[in-house]
Structure 1
Amino acid sequence: MLLQRLGMLLQQCSQKKAFRHGIALHASVIKTGMDSDLVLSNHLINLYAKCKDFESSHQIFDHMSNRNIVSWSAMISGYDQAGKPSMALDLFAKMPLQPNEYIYGSVISACATLFALTQGSQIHGHSLKNGYDQISYVSNSLMSMYIKCDCFDDALCIFSSISEPNSVSYNVMITGFAENLKLSKGLELFRLMNKQGLDPDEFSYMALIGICSSVEDLHVGIGLHCQTVKLGLDTTVFVGNVILMMYSTCGLFEEVEKAFMLIKEKDVITCNTFIVACSNCGEHTKGLMVYKDMTATKNNFSLSPDEFTTASALAVSAELASFHHGGQIHAHLIRTRMVLDIAVYNAIINMYAKCGCSKYASHVFNLMPNRNLISYNTMIAAHGNHGHATAALEIFKRMRYEGFVADSVTFVGLLTACSHAGLVDEGLALFNSMQETYGICPMIEHLSCLIDMLGRSGRLEEAECYVKASAFQNDSVIWGNLLSSCRLHKNVVVGERAAIKLLELQPGTSSPYVLLSNLYASDGRWEDVAAARKMLKCTGVKKEPGHSFIEVKGIAEKFTVGDFSHAQIEEIIVTLESLNWMTKKLYMSALFD
């Protein structure tokens, strides 16, 4: 009776991963002299394996005088589930007994984790020989393994050979197709599953909705979303999260907000997805409100932010250039966390840099216990955007000394730094060293930095030569950049050539006409200005009004050219007039002093 009771209690501890209670029961087993019992020993192995205490589980396993198939299965499945696939395979190789379906499933799963196709195929042959290949647990594991190893034909062959595939079999194949972005094949199996009378579950919908992330596939995703509403799955966190992600990727914030509100028991992933969606869709304040609620003592979600949440909230603050919000998040981290993840450190540096506080960014960078390539790239970009080219080059030198190899992002930061500081020769040397020294092919962002750098210094003919010699000579952004530089230096000759090319590439946008008009105006060619404006008017294209953001008392305010609908517009106009009058007064006093 006591033996059965202890076994039942140990099983419950294993299921709930109640480690401390399990240790107490283990002590009782030893005290009562039942530690040599095979059944109790198996329960203890399973308990310690589930709680990831493999030293204890292996110790019990090694001291067992007799081991049965359950003993081996507990150890092998424990290693597989804990992310130790190599240990699972090593133990399987030493097993003197014939495996059962659970052991086959575990070792095949271990092969899938390691992408060990050769070993997986051998175990497949072993299971086939022993007649286990038609058991659903084994066949499903085999399909998953072949899909992960990019052997879809083998997975389909196994699926086709199953006389009565269950919902798990269909889900394995649907998930495999989804992970490899084969939506049409996944949908085909999904429809077949319905025809066979099997009800799709949350795993089926999660896989398919998860890849409906482009505008082309959105109609399919909306159809699947409707089905989840009928089945009541849209309110579950598992399916709700992928619905959030789908609408977020397609930029449909209203749908994102509706889906977020409908999820009943939100988890951290739900909140993280929503914050990222807010950032992507320009609804930064709403994203910060969710983070603020999560950090409150009594919050609506009963959740605490993780590293991804914090990094996302810091990224939102950086987008808003909100020192107020970003500083509050940093202060909260100082108060509540002793150790910070490296990704959070990088997000803090980026936030301070975007808020114009390069000194704070440097201070955080120097305090970091460990740094990665992203840390160095973020710091180089921070110095570069503020025109501190010497500091950026010093960080680059320090990065190489620490053994980090520069990547494409590193050179964007360095070229930006040289451009802002006017270090043209140094910038050209860095650009030319990309391919020669580092084996990095310059991309459009590098060429754009180079053209900006040459354009700022007035070397416009040289900039034009670089554009024409590059693989991006048909890119409108590059030519627009060159045309802007021509207006700055009043170089009409190069500017007209750039404008002609830009009009070829972008006949339906206003920017080429506006830039050309401004170029002629800078040279006093008013007839040509009128002609450029007339050409713009004839095309019927309207110029998008410019806008800017400013933070007032922690709230981001947007101001658009020609828009007088702001609630405090009268107060704003009075203040602007006052500033204008003060500026004129200071100018006049300086003139006569």
Structure 2
Amino acid sequence: MCSILRNHSPLPTLPFIPRFKDQQSFSLILQQNPHLHLHHLKQIQAQLFHKSLHQDNILITKLISICALSGATDYATRLFESVFHPDLILCNSMLKAYTQNGLFELALHFYLRMLERGFYPDHYTLPYVLKACAGLSNVGFGEQVHGSLVKNGGVCDDVFVVNSLVDMYFKCLQSDAAMRVFQMIAEPNSTSWNIVVAGLLGSGDLESAKNLFDEMPERDVVSWNTLISALAKVGELGKARALFDEMPERNLVTWNALIAGFSQNGQCDEALSVFSQMLKSGVEPDNVTILTVVSAVGGAHSPDTDAVDRILSFARSSNSISVSTAVLNLYAKFGKIDDARKIFDEIPEKDLVTWNAMIGGYSQNQRPVEAIELFCQMQAENRSRVKPDGVTMVSLTVSCSQMGALGLGEWVHAYIEKNGIELDVFLSTALIDMYAKCGDLNCSCHLFWGLPKRDLACWNAMIKGLAIHGQGNEALEIFSLMERDAVAPNDITFVGLLSACSHGGLAAEGLELFDSMQSRYSIIPRIEHYGCVVDLLGRAGRLAEAYEFVKSMPVEPDVIVWGALLGACRSHQNVELAEEAARQLVELEPKHDGNYVLLSNVYASAGKWGDVAKVRAHMKAHDVRKKPGCSAVELGGVVHEFIAGDRSHLRSAEIYAAWDRLVERLKLIGYEPDTGALLRNLEEEDKEAALYRHSEKLALSFMLISSKDGSPIRIVKNLRICSDCHRAMELVSQLEEREIIVRDRNRFHHFNGGHCSCGGYW
């Protein structure tokens, strides 16, 4: 699928570590380079060997500390094992390396080896051991450490060690034991109190934590932050804010805790207000702040523009991938996808989350071609370094759905299977939806029935897929099976069901379902459901009922509702009601071309050419331009797009000639161009020529001369198919003995043997 070739920049050359002469110069190098790559560490070790310093415990201890910071614990282990006579300090540095990197089991095994080799733990050793016990919830091992402390005495009196013991018990959910140890401390320090407050909060005992907080002889900023953070997390935002206002001293953690509390509890505007206060107080945000605030902006009702600009300013200066990705997501959410791309391009080393955010942003903003192109770029640039996952595939699958590109969708499905990407319920649902929207309903059904487990989203996708293909009865059967499986429907289910009834001519069934939404399922109808009912009645020709339904709605009709009514008026040539619907639509969407075009077509069908001219004059005066018809077909993995009257295609001469020849054959079996909706001042020959330039006819002609005889032809159109093209497709399917599948703005039309699956409900 991907054939993008790009020039690759050479990898930057890693600088060599300067040579050192002695311990002092070695220490200076490490101080100046706290974060070293494995490449650098090996250079240093080579120099140690060269100078016969590889058995120097002080130097190896410092080197292992650097390894811990860099996450190179395997290399640190090899360094330690190479030392013939390690001391306790070196052992402690190795123990710290394991615990710092979350390797708690290795830490405990290492501690046991220390004991076997005769090392006696000191007050630096035991906190690391107890941290490992807490990380593994291994209270048994922790109790053994506690027992040895009591038995041997001495170190047990060290408050630093006992604090670690209290923390271990709390994290192993042994609150009573933790409190007993705490009460035995002769002179607890502020850290002791803070650990107990945090432990009580972690165990859910908020009341005891607050009481202990009140009893504390001294409270430092950590004490206040701990309680504020806990109160915010459980939704006690009023109390958290009161404590915040009472604090004698605040730091960045304090502000972050309160901002995060408001954001996580859905009070995003308040979170942004606190952020503005923070900036005014002169506190500079860090990456944690920016991530939280970016999330709050996404959920805010009316984000402060100045605050947002300052967030973005801080974010731009951050070198954090997570911050840049969060800002990228924010831009994409607000439809500023080009700004999102600028952020994306500025990130020097992109991880999978970043690639997924940008690909997903294109997909969410209806720019599927860019999404697929970016995936190709990811593949070309990263090879095996960044591998796509299920999130990537969902975005690609959705992009294929938007394009109606079945071949690309099949390629994505094959890629998923070939690369062993987990076909979870989210990805399965996306594939079901993709196959349905790309015209292969059989494959969609096959996937659906092959799922071992189906959630509500799967059922909804299948119902919606059947709906857009006009299979109303089948959609109702799926709904019955869904209820039999005890899966409760939601509002999305009923949008699909009502749409299925509308496109399938099942007016009575649709109205019954609408009534049952509240009476049986306690689902309050949304504007989309009312729009579906108007569409249902309108397609059935019950225009008076549809208009009365609109007037009786408990919510204000929107463009969906009035648009459904206007579309029905166009189909059934009700001029008076069309004028009312169009008037309402123009008030709501004065720049939307489709409303004027529909009204113009109603007038034209009724022969009211003066009114047609007025509509077109109004459009011209208000600079409302008709969106050109665009149809797309896929051939050999390449998507070909055609605009109405398009002659830009390389084979346009062949396409037009082929259509002219086809028209002559169609006329022999009864085709008469429907020129009634075209302007009156055109000659009949010009009217026919205008009809022949419709984008779906050009796409059809291209596929007839380019694709294999007898293969299905799939066309995706951005607008509603016109009556003349609909009739032409029926006759071509009969004449050429080929299935033609057209997805227009409303639904699928399957033309076969001279008939269409829509049955007139389109």
TM-score range, shorter chain: 0.7 to 0.9
Distance of 2:478 and 2:174 partners within structure 1: 44
Q: In the alignment, is the contact (CA less than 8 A) between 1:45 and 1:75 conserved in 2?
A: no
Pairing of 1:304-315 with structure 2 (within 5 A): 304-315=387-398
Aligned match of 2:385: 302
Structure 2 equivalent of residue 225 of structure 1: 312
Identity of aligned pairs, percent? Answer: 28
Q: Shift in Å at residue 412 of structure 1? A: 0.8
Q: Secondary structure at the match of 1:279?
A: helix
Structure 2 Cα separation of the partners of residues 410 and 254 of structure 1: 34
Number of aligned residues: 563
Q: Which has the higher helix share?
A: 1
Q: Is the 8 A contact 2:425 2:454 kept in 1?
A: yes
Give secondary structure in 2 for the equivalent of 1:438.
coil
Q: 2-side partners of 1:399 and 1:151: how far apart?
A: 40
Aligned residue in 1 for 2:491: 408
- 2:142 aligned partner, one-letter code: F
1:103 to 172, 192, 195: 195
Note closer, same or farther for the CA distance 1:392–1:27 as it changes in structure 2 (3 Å cut): farther
Query: What is the correspondence of 1:420-569 to structure 2 with a 5 Å cutoff?
Result: 420-507=503-590, 509-537=592-620, 539=622, 541-561=624-644, 566=648, 568=649
Separation in structure 2 between the aligned mates of residue 41 and residue 15 of structure 1, nearest angstrom = 14
RMSD: 3.4
Corresponding position of 2:331? 247
Counterpart Cα distance in 1 of 2:117 and 2:88: 10
Aligned to 1:125: 211
| 8 Å Cα contact 1:521-1:529 kept in structure 2 | yes
Alignment of 1:350-365 (within 5 A): 350-365=433-448
5+ long unaligned stretches in structure 1? 80-86
In the alignment, does 2:659 pair up with 1:579?
yes
State the one-letter code of the partner of 2:550. Answer: V
Residue 205 of structure 1 is matched in structure 2 by 290
| 1:152 shift after superposition | 3.3
Q: 3-state DSSP class of the match of 1:248? A: helix
User: Residue deviations 1:461-505, cap 9 Å, x none?
Assistant: 121121111134532331221121112122334334434444554
1:512-539: CA deviations, max 9, x gaps? 4432221122233334434444454455
How many Å separate the matches in 2 of 1:491 and 1:458? 10
Q: 1:541 to 1:348 in 2, by over 3 A?
A: closer
Q: 1:553 to 1:429 in 2, by over 3 A?
A: same
Question: One-letter code of the match for 1:426?
Answer: E
Pick from 152, 159, 169: which aligns with 2:254?
Answer: 169
Residues 131 and 164 in structure 2, CA contact (< 8 A), matched pair in contact too: no
Contact 1:41-1:60 at 8 Å conserved across structures: no
1:581 counterpart letter in structure 2: R
Residue identity in the other structure for 1:201: D
For the residues of structure 2 that align with 1:421 and 1:94, how far apart are their CA atoms?
Answer: 72
Amino acid at match of 1:577: A
CA contact (8 A) 2:527 2:557 kept: no
2:225 corresponds, among 129, 136, 140, to 140
For 1:558 and 1:105, the matched residues in 2 are separated by: 65
2:479 and 2:330 mapped to 1: Cα distance? Answer: 39
- CA gap of 1:432–1:555, structure 2 versus 1, over 3 A, is same
Aligned equivalents of 1:246, 1:7: Cα separation in 2? 45
1:104 and 1:138 in contact (8 A); partners too: no
State how far apart, in whole Å, the 1-side matches of 2:437 and 2:602 are: 31
**Deviation readout 1:390-449 (Å, 9 max, x if unpaired):** 322222122112221110001111111111211111111111110110011111111222
The one-letter amino acid of 1:202's match is N
Q: Structure 1 CA distance, aligned partners of 2:571 and 2:305?
A: 44
Distance 1:17 1:183, change over 3 A: closer
Structure 2 CA distance, aligned partners of 1:534 and 1:338? Answer: 56
How far residue 191 of structure 1 moved from its aligned partner, in angstroms, is: 2.0
* Equivalent residue letter for 1:551: E
Kindly state the Cα deviation for residue 362 of structure 1 after the two structures are TM-superposed. 1.7
Distance across 2 between alignment mates of 1:351 and 1:156: 48
Query: What amino acid maps onto 2:274 in structure 1?
Result: G
Inter-partner Cα distance in structure 2 for 1:328 and 1:73 = 53
Alignment-derived partner of residue 84 in structure 1: none
Moved more, 158-167 or 536-545: 536-545
Say whether the 8 Å CA contact 2:166–2:196 is kept in structure 1: no
Q: Residue 314 of structure 1 contacts residue 326 of structure 1 at CA under 8 Å; is this kept in 2? A: yes
Question: Partners of 1:305 and 1:151 in 2: how far apart?
Answer: 40
Q: Is the 8 A contact 1:236 1:265 kept in 2?
A: no
Whose relative contact order is higher, 1 or 2, with alpha carbons under 8 Å and at least 6 apart?
2
State the distance in 1 between where 2:401 and 2:140 align: 51
**8 Å CA contact 2:563, 2:595 repeated in 1:** yes
Amino acid at match of 1:61: G
If you compute each CA radius of gyration, which structure gives the higher value, 1 or 2?
Answer: 2
Q: Is 1:271 aligned to residue 351 of structure 2?
A: no
Taking structure 2 as the reference length, the TM-score comes to 0.67
For residue 391 of structure 1, the aligned residue among 474, 480, 483 is 474
What's the counterpart of residue 234 of structure 2? 149
Matched residue type, 2:164: V
Deviations 1:94-145 (A, max 9, x none): 766468245246436636xxxx5xx32430221231336x222232122222
Contact 2:259 2:272 in 1 (8 A): no
State the AA in 2 paired with 1:584: E
Distance (Å, rounded) in 1 between the aligned partners of 2:643 and 2:554: 36
The farther-off stretch of 333-342 and 399-408 is 333-342
Which amino acid in structure 2 is aligned with residue 396 of structure 1?
F
Residue in structure 2 matching 1:236, options 315, 320, 332:
320
User: For the residues of structure 2 that align with 1:398 and 1:92, how far apart are their CA atoms?
Assistant: 54
Alpha-carbon shift at residue 329 of structure 1 (Å): 2.2
Superposition deviation, residue 217 in structure 1: 4.3
CA distance in 1: counterparts of 2:443 and 2:454, whole angstroms: 17
